[in-house]
């Protein structure tokens, strides 16, 4: 691990000023950052420790029915918050399907949003990577690409975003509150992330010094609570990143679908909102035929970035399965294996 | 630059001076406080051998910077037994053959203590396995580990008081 200056600011304003310097990085739990630093993947010259900043570790239920989640709330605290697990069950299920209990106890909400890709070529300093070293090239192209992107990728980068949490969040119109040198602003989570295009090193719209202070979910997100699931296919049943995942939420209106929300994980460098699929389902009857049409619409633009065409069909089937499970209703209790396709109710869908 | 912090380690307040902010909690425990029970397996948060309780919750101590933890309470495997009396989870691991070589065992036990405190697994072996998935055992003692956790939890809940310590 490289040497660095350690700074512990007393306020958000001090933090922003300290982190705006070149080479500075924010430190929260450090579960991703320390791993990257130990591997020599990132070498920040200054760590700005935000874990002692007051007021950023609260979950607030707003008068309008929305939820405001402080940036430092730990993943497990959010997943087990009684209100959140009831009102936003797919968010809780996604959180509990990610990482391990130890990591969820430490990792923060904002850290989860900003975790870096697990592309093995990004993680290997001996491999060329445009994300690590702009212009160096991408050794993932033509390499071992089983887990790489099938949507939104470019010839410069075919990595995927690893977060489970972000997938239902982006489907439910989550936003992030950002404090920066120019003051405070709010950005839709979907717009926080950039697609790789020709600058895969620019991962988000955050500017130097920008600090995510909270995550917000609108009141409307809870209207899907009764029919909301997250489903994740991975190489192991637990403690593994998604090969492909899907968040599906339905608001039923009589026997028909009032509104649907769908997003995919593991397929692109950002959590992938499938608006075309949602449009297919709006006002439609509940039927497998419609679910298949929606899945086709979600993957219409997909193309393999290597030896991963199977992910397109996998994502299509996962959307149908997630919609089927969502239509059947959110389980009363969190499944023993959250988001698993092999857990009780999910097996027979 | 010297960083001064105070930690309560296994109930004992420790004033710590660090000459380098790169020291992880795991390295602090092992190399500077002489508490070598917490093991360094992968040192990257993948194996769970370094699991300790931080403010009552299980974490990977290899992925926490000590300098950031000023004021925290840390419980390690060395702090579990009271005098010669093993903690119920320790006793259950012995009774159920929850280990072979023993390298992962301090992390397994601290993780199990954390899992039982969290209280989400109940008596469902599937939920216990899921909750313990952050702890790898190369000897493959998982069957005994799951039995030990279920047994220790039942005793802690007073279900099996006749055998409780």
Question: What length does chain B have?
Answer: 165
> Do A267 and A195 sit in the same domain of this protein?
yes
Mean pLDDT of B125-140: 98
The single residue listed with the structure tokens 């699931």 is: A229
Residues of chain A with C-beta less than 8 angstroms from the C-beta of B131: 101
Reading the block at residue A35, the tokens are 């791993």
Write down the H helix ranges in B1-141.
25-27, 88-95, 105-118, 125-131
Report the residue from B3, B44, B60 with minimal CB separation from A102: B60
The single residue listed with the structure tokens 């439609």 is: A284
pTM of the model: 0.96
**B130 touching A, CB under 8 A?**
yes
Q: How many Å apart are CA A68 and CA A60, to the nearest integer?
A: 5
CATH number of domain containing A45: 3.30.43.10
Q: Between the CA atoms of A335, A338, A344 and A347, what dihedral angle is there, to the nearest 10 degrees?
A: 150
> Do A100 and A40 sit in the same domain of this protein?
no
How distant is the alpha carbon of residue A264 from its chain centre? 9
How distant is the alpha carbon of residue A171 from its chain centre? 10
Residues of chain A with C-beta less than 8 angstroms from the C-beta of B47: none
pLDDT confidence band for B161 (50 / 70 / 90): very low
Is B157 a residue whose pLDDT tops 90?
Answer: no
HSE at residue B12, side-chain half, CA atoms within 13 A, is 8
The single residue listed with the structure tokens 């008081």 is: B161
> Do A238 and A306 sit in the same domain of this protein?
yes
How distant is the alpha carbon of residue B162 from its chain centre? 26
Q: How many Å apart are CA A61 and CA A82, to the nearest integer?
A: 12
Task: Look at B67 and A49 and tell me if their CB atoms are within 8 Å.
Answer: yes
What domain count does chain A have?
Answer: 2
Residues of chain A with C-beta less than 8 angstroms from the C-beta of B70: 52
- Among residues A308, A247, A303, the alpha carbon closest in space to that of A273 is found at A247
End-to-end CA distance of chain A: 47
Residue range of the domain that includes A234: 55-349
Q: How many Å apart are CA A274 and CA A247, to the nearest integer?
A: 10
Cβ–Cβ < 8 Å for A29, A106: yes
Is B165 a residue whose pLDDT tops 50?
Answer: no
Give the model's pLDDT for residue A343.
75
Give the model's pLDDT for residue B31.
98
DSSP 8-state secondary structure symbol assigned to residue B120: -
Q: Between the CA atoms of A59, B64, B88 and A338, what dihedral angle is there, to the nearest 10 degrees?
A: 50
Give the model's pLDDT for residue A317.
98
Reading the block at residue A169, the tokens are 């969040």
Q: How many Å apart are CA A36 and CA B87, to the nearest integer?
A: 36
| Torsional sign, CA B76, B78, B79, B81 | positive
Cβ–Cβ < 8 Å for A262, A278: yes
Strands A5-7 and A228-234 turn out to be unpaired
**B124 touching A, CB under 8 A?**
yes
Search chain A and give the residue with CA nearest B60. A102
Report the residue from A5, A100, A238 with minimal CB separation from B48: A100
Search chain B and give the residue with CA nearest A36. B44
Helix (H, G, I), strand (E, B) or coil at A229: strand
Q: How far is CA B147 from CA A277, B89, B165, in A?
A: 45, 11, 18
> Do A208 and A142 sit in the same domain of this protein?
yes
> Do A151 and A231 sit in the same domain of this protein?
yes
Helix axes B105-118, B88-95, angle to 10 degrees: 120
Q: How many Å apart are CA B115 and CA B50, to the nearest integer?
A: 15
Residue A342 Cα, gap to closest chain B Cα (Å): 12
HSE at residue A187, side-chain half, CA atoms within 13 A, is 20
Task: Look at A35 and B64 and tell me if their CB atoms are within 8 Å.
Answer: no
Give the model's pLDDT for residue B158.
57
> If 0-12 CB within 10 Å is exposed, 13-18 middle and 19+ buried, where does residue A206 land?
middle
pLDDT confidence band for B1 (50 / 70 / 90): confident
Q: Between the CA atoms of A286, A287, A293 and A296, what dihedral angle is there, to the nearest 10 degrees?
A: 100
- Tell me the pLDDT tens digit for each residue of B13-59: 999 999 999 999 999 999 999 999 999 999 999 999 999 999 999 99
The interface predicted TM-score (ipTM) is: 0.96
> Do A270 and A201 sit in the same domain of this protein?
yes
Q: How many Å apart are CA A263 and CA A248, to the nearest integer?
A: 7
- Tell me the pLDDT tens digit for each residue of B107-116: 999 999 999 9
> Do A211 and A65 sit in the same domain of this protein?
yes
**A6 touching B, CB under 8 A?**
yes
> Do A297 and A347 sit in the same domain of this protein?
yes
Taken in order of first residue, the domains within chain B and their CATH numbers are 3-79 (3.10.20.30), 88-163 (1.10.150.120)
> Do A11 and A160 sit in the same domain of this protein?
no
> Do A30 and A159 sit in the same domain of this protein?
no
- Among residues A315, A310, A311, A283, the alpha carbon closest in space to that of A296 is found at A315
> Do A242 and A331 sit in the same domain of this protein?
yes
Write down the H helix ranges in B5-98.
25-27, 88-95
Please report, in tens digits, the pLDDT of each residue of chain A (349 residues total). 999 999 999 999 999 999 999 999 999 999 999 999 999 999 999 999 999 999 999 999 999 999 999 999 999 999 999 999 999 999 999 999 999 999 999 999 999 999 999 999 999 999 999 999 999 999 999 999 999 999 999 999 999 999 999 999 999 999 999 999 999 999 999 999 999 999 999 999 999 999 999 999 999 999 999 999 999 999 999 999 999 999 999 999 988 999 999 999 999 999 999 999 999 999 999 999 999 999 999 999 999 999 999 999 999 999 999 999 999 999 999 999 999 988 766 665 5
> Do A95 and A120 sit in the same domain of this protein?
yes
Helix (H, G, I), strand (E, B) or coil at A177: strand
Return phi, psi of residue A261, to 5°.
Answer: -130, 130
Return phi, psi of residue A82, to 5°.
Answer: -60, -40
Search chain B and give the residue with CA nearest A335. B127
């Amino acid at each position: 691990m490289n040497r660095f200056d350690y700074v512990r600011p007393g306020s958000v304003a001090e933090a922003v000023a300290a982190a705006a310097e070149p080479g500075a990085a924010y430190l929260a739990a450090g579960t991703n950052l320390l791993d990257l630093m130990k591997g020599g993947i990132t070498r920040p010259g200054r760590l700005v420790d935000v874990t002692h900043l007051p007021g950023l570790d609260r979950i607030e239920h707003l008068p309008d029915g929305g939820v405001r989640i402080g940036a430092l709330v730990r993943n497990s605290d959010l997943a087990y918050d009684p209100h959140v697990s009831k009102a936003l069950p797919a968010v809780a299920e996604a959180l509990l399907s990610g990482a391990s209990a130890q990591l969820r106890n430490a990792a923060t909400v904002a850290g989860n949003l900003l975790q870096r890709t697990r592309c093995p070529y990004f993680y290997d300093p001996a491999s060329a990577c445009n994300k690590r070293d702009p212009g160096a090239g991408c050794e993932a192209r033509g390499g071992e690409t089983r887990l790489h992107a099938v949507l939104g990728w470019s010839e410069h980068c075919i990595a995927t975003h690893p977060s489970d949490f972000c997938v239902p969040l982006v489907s439910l119109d989550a936003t992030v509150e950002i404090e920066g040198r120019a003051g405070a602003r709010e950005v839709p989570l979907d717009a926080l992330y950039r697609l790789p295009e020709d600058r895969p090193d620019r991962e988000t719209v955050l500017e130097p010094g920008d600090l995510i202070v909270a995550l917000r979910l609108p009141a409307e997100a809870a209207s899907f609570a009764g029919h909301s699931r997250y489903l994740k296919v991975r190489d192991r049943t637990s403690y593994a990143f998604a090969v492909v995942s899907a968040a599906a939420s339905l608001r039923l209106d009589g026997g028909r679908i009032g509104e649907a929300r769908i997003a995919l994980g593991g397929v692109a460098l950002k959590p992938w909102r499938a608006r075309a699929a949602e449009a297919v389902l709006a006002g439609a009857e509940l039927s497998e035929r419609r679910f298949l049409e929606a899945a086709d619409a979600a993957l219409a633009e997909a193309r393999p970035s290597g030896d991963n065409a199977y992910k397109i069909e996998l994502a299509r089937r996962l959307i149908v399965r997630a919609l089927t499970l969502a239509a059947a209703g959110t389980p009363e209790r969190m499944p023993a294996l959250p988001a698993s396709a092999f857990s009780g109710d999910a097996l027979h869908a | 630059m010297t960083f001064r912090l105070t930690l309560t380690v296994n109930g004992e307040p420790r004033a710590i001076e660090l000459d380098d902010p790169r020291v992880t909690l795991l390295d602090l425990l092992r190399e500077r406080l002489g508490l070598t029970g917490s093991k360094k397996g992968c040192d990257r948060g993948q194996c769970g051998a370094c699991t300790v309780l931080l403010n009552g919750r299980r974490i990977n101590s290899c992925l926490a910077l000590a300098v950031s933890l000023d004021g925290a309470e840390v419980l390690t495997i060395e702090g579990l037994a009271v005098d010669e009396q093993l903690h119920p989870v320790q006793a259950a691991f012995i009774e159920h053959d929850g280990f072979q070589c023993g390298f992962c065992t301090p992390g397994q036990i601290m993780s199990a203590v954390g899992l039982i405190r969290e209280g989400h697994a109940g008596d469902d072996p599937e939920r216990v396995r899921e909750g313990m998935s952050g702890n790898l055992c190369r000897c493959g003692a998982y069957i005994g580990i799951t039995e030990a956790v279920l047994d220790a939890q039942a005793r802690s809940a007073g279900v099996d008081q006749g055998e409780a310590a």
